[in-house]
Amino acid sequence: MHRMLDAGIAVAVKALEPQLIDFIQLLVRTPSLPNEEHAVQQQIAAQLRALGMAVDEVPTDFATLRTHAAFNDDGFAPTGRLNIVGRWRGSGAARGRGSLILNGHVDVVAPGKLTQWNDPPWSGLLRDGRIWGRGSCDMKAGLAAGIFALAALQRAGLQPAHDVLLQSVIGEESGGAGTLTTIVQGYRADAAIVLEPTSLQLCPVQSGALTFRLRVAGRAAHAALRSHGVSAIEKFALLLATLQQLEVARHAGFASALYSDPRHAAPISIGTVRAGEWHSTVAEELVAEGRMGVFPGETPAQARAAMQTAVSQAAAADDWLSAHPPQVEWFEGQFEAGATPLDHALLQALQAAHLAALGAPAAMRAVTYGSDLRLFTNHAHIPAVLYGPGDVTLAHAANESIAVDEVLRAVHVLALFVADWCGAARA
């Protein structure tokens, strides 16, 4: 990368710190639970317009998504939720590698028990070098970092040769309807960075996740005569052991240095169990719901078949369950895995920018949670990577926060990356 250019960008990033803090605080102080993203999206749009970008307001409409293989109906409003796409038009000069999408979601999860928070969840307080509040880490700071990387380039007097798109989307936490909308509406680029909190690690691989429900039948009887009944709870215990064995067996043949815990790259977890009607009645029915991980390279259909086979085999070995087979249902989120090849030029260029800005290479990681990365890699055929400030273990938790220093580092890396990838030069 060009040394003079880099120095100008570094100065510009530092100068933008007060505005960056203000903007993250503004975003955090504007609650954006699913279905309620409108106000924060207008703030994003205003910021992009202030940077001179052409801004599209792109409404989500389930009617246009429903037939898409990657669509998940999240149960929220099927129309009207706005996505924002800002475009910084490239000069068209013969420089750089291509166009770019910077993508982030504005929807946040509910704050949970308010008594667990030291400050109100929408405080946006700046304390101890951190900004506090729901959405600070996941992922309003990441989205702000993408926007301010572009602001830094402008401040340094630079213009890209190729288009840069800044996408602020809704509905990521509940299935990805926002990013899918942008794909269906034809927004494209040669690469995408999804600005999720990765602690500034490069994460080009994500596992998938499938939500499932298990229905187990029993036969009711008075607890005093329990041998006359069949407990759905006891039969579920057999199936739970089966699922635990399935998780171990599925990981036996799996190895990847990208996962910090390769034995749980695609975990199987039961989240809810409801059974029985009365303490002195043998439970007649049990309904359990959970989440099954999908390995990179595995299709959701393959993962679903593996669970169905395991459950069927367990049932066949039990007299009651073979006559009353447990039902496996798949519902709500059905998220594919996604991956960008590790030798892709996108990753090399981002790694080079990270090294130039911060003086040490970034770790390369896979993540076990679902994200919009899969929509880019699998359905838009756009190479994509997760990269952003923030510790994902703080996401969705009480007292969520983000370190301002880390956001500034992200802005610096992203600005250098955009300059290189999109071929920035003096305007």
Least distance in angstroms from the C-beta of 153 to Zn ion:
25
Which of these segments, 108-116, 137-145, 267-275, 356-364, binds Zn ion (CB under 5 A)? 137-145
Please tell me whether residue 139 binds Zn ion under the rule CB under 5 A.
yes
- Residue 6: active-site member: no
Which of these segments, 36-44, 88-96, 130-138, 362-370, binds Zn ion (CB under 5 A)? 130-138
Each residue 149-188 as x (binds Zn ion by CB under 5 A) or -, in order, gives: ----------------------------------------
Which DSSP symbol is given to 70?
A: T
Chain position whose Cβ is nearest to Zn ion: 138
Question: Looking at beta carbons only, is 142 or 326 nearer to Zn ion?
Answer: 142
Which of these segments, 34-42, 60-68, 138-146, 338-346, binds Zn ion (CB under 5 A)? 138-146
Single-letter residue type at 373: L
- Residue 107: active-site member: yes
139: preceding bond cis by omega (within 30 degrees): yes
Please tell me whether residue 143 binds Zn ion under the rule CB under 5 A.
no
Residues 6+ apart with CB under 8 A from 219: 229, 230, 282, 284
Least distance in angstroms from the C-beta of 376 to Zn ion:
15
Least distance in angstroms from the C-beta of 139 to Zn ion:
4
Strands 79-88 and 164-169: antiparallel
Residue 193, strand partner residues = 102, 385
The residue among 340, 365, 361 whose CA lies nearest residue 351 is 361
Please tell me whether residue 397 binds Zn ion under the rule CB under 5 A.
no
The residue among 25, 350, 14 whose CA lies nearest residue 200 is 350
Strands 100-105 and 192-194: parallel
Please tell me whether residue 138 binds Zn ion under the rule CB under 5 A.
yes
Q: What angle do CA 133, 134, 137 make, to 5 degrees?
A: 85
Which of these segments, 196-204, 281-289, 300-308, 416-424, binds Zn ion (CB under 5 A)? 196-204
Please tell me whether residue 194 binds Zn ion under the rule CB under 5 A.
no
d(CA 104, CA 143): 5
Q: Kindly calculate the radius of gyration of the chain based on its CA atoms and give it in whole angstroms.
A: 24
Question: Looking at beta carbons only, is 101 or 321 nearer to Zn ion?
Answer: 101
Question: Looking at beta carbons only, is 56 or 196 nearer to Zn ion?
Answer: 196
Least distance in angstroms from the C-beta of 360 to Zn ion:
25
Which residue is catalytic, options 37, 56, 172, 247? 172
Q: How many CB atoms lie within 10 A of CB 333?
A: 18
Which residue is catalytic, options 37, 107, 173, 196? 107
- Say whether 220 sits in a helix, a strand or coil: coil
Question: Looking at beta carbons only, is 138 or 284 nearer to Zn ion?
Answer: 138
Q: Using CB under 5 A, which residues numbered 40 to 79 contact Zn ion?
A: none
Which of these segments, 15-23, 121-129, 131-139, 245-253, binds Zn ion (CB under 5 A)? 131-139
Q: What b/e readout covers 352-378, taking b as 16+ CB neighbours within 10 angstroms? A: bbbebbeeeebebbbbbbbbbbbbbbb
**Cβ atoms 137, 195 nearer than 8 A:** no
Least distance in angstroms from the C-beta of 105 to Zn ion:
6
Residue 403, strand partner residues = 130
Question: Catalytic residues, which ones?
Answer: 107, 172
Binding site for Zn ion (CB under 5 A): 138-139, 196
